[in-house]
Amino acid sequence: MPSEKSKVYSVSSEEEMIELGRSLARQWPRTGVVLLIGNLGAGKTTLAKGIVEGLGVERAENVSSPTFPLIHEYGDPVEVYHVDLYRLETAKEVASLGLDEIFARPALVLIEWGERFLDVMPESRIEVRITTVPLGRQVEIC
């Protein structure tokens, strides 16, 4: 159930998810941490594509899931870090990535599966929860 402060959006296609990401990018500060929360296939990377494109950093088709390299960087200098913690199992593994240094940089940090390691995430963050609904996806911004 959405909280009083959250905003909820409904999307029914990949293009609508990318467009939502573009729109959110124009509303959010260019520096900060965003947790992208949802099951496998929920649309986290698709939303990230729209966010990165909405910031004018990269075209959406050039943004991909960082599941195997764990971190993708976009922009020169880097304006967006896209992190995927799916394959990591412990907070010690996450700490070895140097996220504290990344959090201190003037960039937007998009993190998939970050909810699994809340103890190493900054308290000041945006949480985006994506759930599957009968006609598409529901995206809640907290």
For residue range 13-23, list pLDDT tens digits in order: 999 999 999 99
Domains of the chain: which residue ranges? 7-141
- The CATH classification number of 7-141 equals 3.40.50.300
Q: How far apart are CA 125 and CA 128, in angstroms?
A: 10
Give the model's pLDDT for residue 4.
56
Check whether 1 has a pLDDT greater than 80.
Answer: no
How much is the CA Rg of the chain, to the nearest whole Å?
14
The tokens of 88 are what?
């990591």
